[in-house]
C-alpha cells in the first residue's frame, strides 16, 4: 500500500495515476472538505486526515509500505509565512513521526529546487548545494528547506527516506489551475504577451511523478535528487505556447525596474480581490536569477528522464481545453436541474 499526502494537488493526482498504471494500490490522504475532482473515478482508497493533527495520521499509516509526502503550501504572496511554516515544516515533522511509529519501509518527500541555496550566475545548482535555511528570497524557500531538513535528519537516524526537488512543474491534470498553467494559457491565447527578460527551468508533471516512483525504488537513503526539465526564456515559452495552438504572437519585454516597482503594489491589490497575480517581487526575482539546475544525479542513479518541453506544453493545452469543456457542460447540466420544477414536462437531467 502507498500513502500519498497532497493527493488532490497537481503532482499528487498525477503520481496517483502513475502508481495505478504500475499496478500499485493507493491510499490518498484528503483534507476535510477538500475538493476531490482531480481523483474522480480512480480506484483508490480516500481517507480524511490533516497533517497538522498527528492523531489523524497514525491510523492511516498502518499497512503502508511507501509514503509519498507532497502536502504543502506554495505561495509567492506576502502574509502567508506563518501558514507555510506550519504546513511545510511542522506538518512534515508530523508525517515523518507517524511514518517512524508505523515502521513504514520507505518515504519520498517532495521539496523544491528552491529548498537549495540559490547560486550565482555562471554556476549550476546541484545536490551538493546547501539547503536555503536562511534564504532572504522568501518564506517559501526557507520553509521547504526546513521541511527537507526534518526528513534528512530522521533519515540519519534510520528512516529510509529520500528527498526530491522538482523545478517549475507544468503539464496535464492541473485541476486547481496553477499560476504557471494560467500563464501558459495566456501566452497561447494572446496576440501580444507582456514579459520580462528572464528564464526558468520547467519540467513535466508526469516526469516528476515517475521520478518520485524511481526515487522510491532506487534512491539512496538520506539523498536529495533534483527533478528538473529544460531551462527556457519567458520569450521562448511565449512562442512555444503560441506554436502549440498555431497562433503567432508578439512578446513585449517590460524593463525589470518598472515591473518590480508595480508588482510590489499590485500584489496587495490582488490579495484584496483574492486573486493571484502573474508576477510578484518573488516571481520576478526568480526568473532573473540563476535557474540552471542539474538533473545528472537523478539520471545516473534513478534512470530519470525529462521529455521535450514542446510536448508538455501541447499536452497541457489540449488537456485544459477538454477539461474545461467537460466542466462547463457539467455546470450547465447542474443549472438545468436546479431550474426544473415539479410539473414540468420533462426533467432535463
82, part of any domain: yes
pLDDT digits 0-9 by tens, 49-83: 999 999 889 889 999 999 999 998 876 555 678 88
What does the alpha-carbon distance between residue 62 and residue 70 come to, in Å, rounded to a whole number?
Answer: 19
pLDDT reading at 133 higher than 90? no
| Listed residue (346, 110, 103, 289) closest to 213, CA to CA | 110
96, part of any domain: yes
153, part of any domain: yes
C-alpha cell read off for 291: 535557474
Average pLDDT over residues 101-111: 96
Average pLDDT over residues 95-121: 94
Tally of domains within the chain: 1
What does the alpha-carbon distance between residue 245 and residue 313 come to, in Å, rounded to a whole number?
Answer: 10
349, part of any domain: no
21, part of any domain: yes
pLDDT digits 0-9 by tens, 231-268: 999 999 999 999 999 998 888 888 777 766 665 556 55
331, part of any domain: no
Rounded to 5°, angle at Cα 199 from 197 and 201: 170
What's the CATH code of the domain at 147? 3.40.50.720
Contact 107, 96 (CB under 8 A): yes
Contact 145, 72 (CB under 8 A): no
What does the alpha-carbon distance between residue 195 and residue 66 come to, in Å, rounded to a whole number?
Answer: 42
Task: Name, in order, each residue with C-beta under 8 angstroms of 170's C-beta and a sequence gap of 6 or more.
Answer: 178, 180, 181, 184, 202, 203, 204, 205, 312, 313, 316
Q: Which residue spans within 102-167 are E strands per DSSP?
A: 106-110, 161-166
HSE, side-chain direction, 13 A CA sphere, residue 72: 26
Domain around 223: 2-172+202-228+292-307
17, part of any domain: yes
C-alpha cell read off for 130: 546547501
pLDDT of residue 45: 97
What does the alpha-carbon distance between residue 71 and residue 142 come to, in Å, rounded to a whole number?
Answer: 16
**Is the model more confident about 28 or about 288?**
28
Amino acid at each position: 500500500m502507498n500513502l500519498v499526502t497532497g493527493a488532490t494537488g497537481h503532482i499528487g493526482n498525477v503520481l496517483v495515476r502513475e502508481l495505478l498504471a504500475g499496478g500499485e494500490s493507493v491510499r490518498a490522504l484528503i483534507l476535510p472538505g477538500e475538493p476531490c475532482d482531480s481523483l474522480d473515478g480512480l480506484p483508490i482508497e480516500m481517507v480524511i486526515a490533516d497533517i497538522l493533527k498527528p492523531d489523524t495520521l497514525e491510523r492511516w499509516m498502518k499497512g503502508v509500505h511507501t509514503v509519498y509526502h507532497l502536502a504543502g503550501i506554495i505561495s509567492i504572496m506576502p502574509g502567508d509565512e506563518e501558514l507555510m511554516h506550519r504546513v511545510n515544516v511542522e506538518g512534515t515533522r508530523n508525517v515523518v513521526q507517524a511514518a517512524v511509529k508505523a515502521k513504514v519501509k520507505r518515504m519520498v518527500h517532495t521539496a523544491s529546487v528552491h529548498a537549495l541555496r540559490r547560486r550565482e550566475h555562471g554556476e549550476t545548482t546541484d545536490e551538493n548545494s546547501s539547503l536555503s535555511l536562511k534564504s532572504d528570497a522568501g518564506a517559501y524557500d526557507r520553509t521547504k528547506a526546513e521541511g527537507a531538513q526534518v526528513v534528512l535528519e530522521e533519515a540519519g537516524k534510520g528512516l529510509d527516506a529520500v528527498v526530491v526537488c522538482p523545478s517549475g512543474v507544468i503539464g496535464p491534470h492541473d485541476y486547481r489551475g496553477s499560476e504557471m498553467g494560467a500563464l501558459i494559457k495566456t501566452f497561447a491565447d494572446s496576440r501580444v504577451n507582456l514579459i520580462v527578460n528572464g528564464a526558468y527551468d520547467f519540467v513535466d508533471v508526469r516526469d516528476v511523478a515517475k521520478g518520485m516512483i524511481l526515487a522510491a525504488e532506487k534512491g539512496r537513503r538520506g539523498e536529495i535528487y533534483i527533478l528538473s526539465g529544460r531551462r527556457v526564456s519567458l520569450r521562448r515559452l511565449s512562442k512555444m505556447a503560441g506554436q502549440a495552438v498555431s497562433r503567432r504572437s508578439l512578446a513585449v519585454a517590460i524593463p525589470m525596474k518598472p515591473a518590480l516597482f508595480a508588482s510590489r503594489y499590485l500584489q496587495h491589490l490582488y490579495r484584496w480581490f483574492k486573486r493571484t497575480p502573474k508576477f510578484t517581487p518573488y516571481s520576478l526575482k526568480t526568473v532573473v536569477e540563476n535557474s540552471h539546475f542539474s538533473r545528472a544525479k537523478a539520471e545516473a542513479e534513478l534512470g530519470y528522464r525529462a521529455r521535450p518541453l514542446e510536448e508538455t506544453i501541447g499536452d497541457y493545452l489540449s488537456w485544459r481545453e477538454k477539461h474545461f469543456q467537460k466542466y462547463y457542460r457539467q455546470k450547465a447540466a447542474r443549472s438545468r436541474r436546479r431550474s426544473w420544477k415539479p410539473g414540468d414536462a420533462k426533467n432535463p437531467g
